[in-house]
Amino acid sequence: MNNYLYEYGDKLYINLTNECSNNCDFCVRNAADGVGGYNLWLSKEPSAKEIIESLKKTDLDKYKEFVFCGFGEPLYALKGILEIGGYLKSLKKSVRLNTNGQADFICGAGTAEKLKNAVNTVSISLNASNAKKYNEVCKCAFGEKGFYAMLKFAEECVKNVDRVILSVVDTIGDDEIEKCRALTAHLGAEFRVRKYE
């Protein structure tokens, strides 16, 4: 069974793809088949229509937020994000996208502007303060260019989306966390340290 929608706390997560341009050292995919008791590996990707039909049968009022985040990089399913996010926002729901931010390589230029009608918040995994360290930790399919694409996307999101958060995992060390905090402040985004579990 494909788990396209799964609950985690007071949020409903939307799992659209297993495709990803990173192979991060700390990724949960390397240690488990899912989170919260849900297996998140997909045998097929859902259509936006399938997800919207499922959402129509769900009590949406019980969720604080709807999050595009599963066992892959959601931007590989940008068309679905735009349709599903647009539907949820039309119902005045809060929508977040969790992403590695390599939009220019995955979707092409102008992605941040497209997202403004589909999401309220974009949360980007920063994970390192420079391209070399980023590529060492994230093993990006685009090499060190992935880091710069992510920063450019973050900058564009700040101009187009209500809320932008850059995050790191607490395993990178205090010095690196502070460098990432400073980089995030320079971009005009919020900063969050995620606990590695």
Q: Tell me the mean pLDDT per 10 residues along the chain, length 197.
A: 93 96 83 81 96 97 96 96 98 97 94 96 96 94 96 97 95 92 97 84
pTM of the model: 0.94
> Taking the CA of residue 149 as centre, how many other CA atoms within 13 Å lie in the half-sphere pointing to its CB?
22
Of the candidates 68, 117, 75, 66, the one whose C-alpha atom is nearest the C-alpha of residue 95 is 66
Give the pLDDT of residue 195.
81
Give the pLDDT of residue 197.
64
Q: Which residues contact 143 (CB under 8 A, 6 or more apart)?
A: 135
Give the pLDDT of residue 59.
96
Rounded distance between C-alpha atoms, residue 161 and residue 140, angstroms: 25
Rounded distance between C-alpha atoms, residue 77 and residue 89, angstroms: 18
Rounded distance between C-alpha atoms, residue 34 and residue 54, angstroms: 20
Give the pLDDT of residue 75.
97
Give the pLDDT of residue 76.
97
Radius of gyration of the chain (CA): 16
* Coil/strand/helix, residue 195: coil
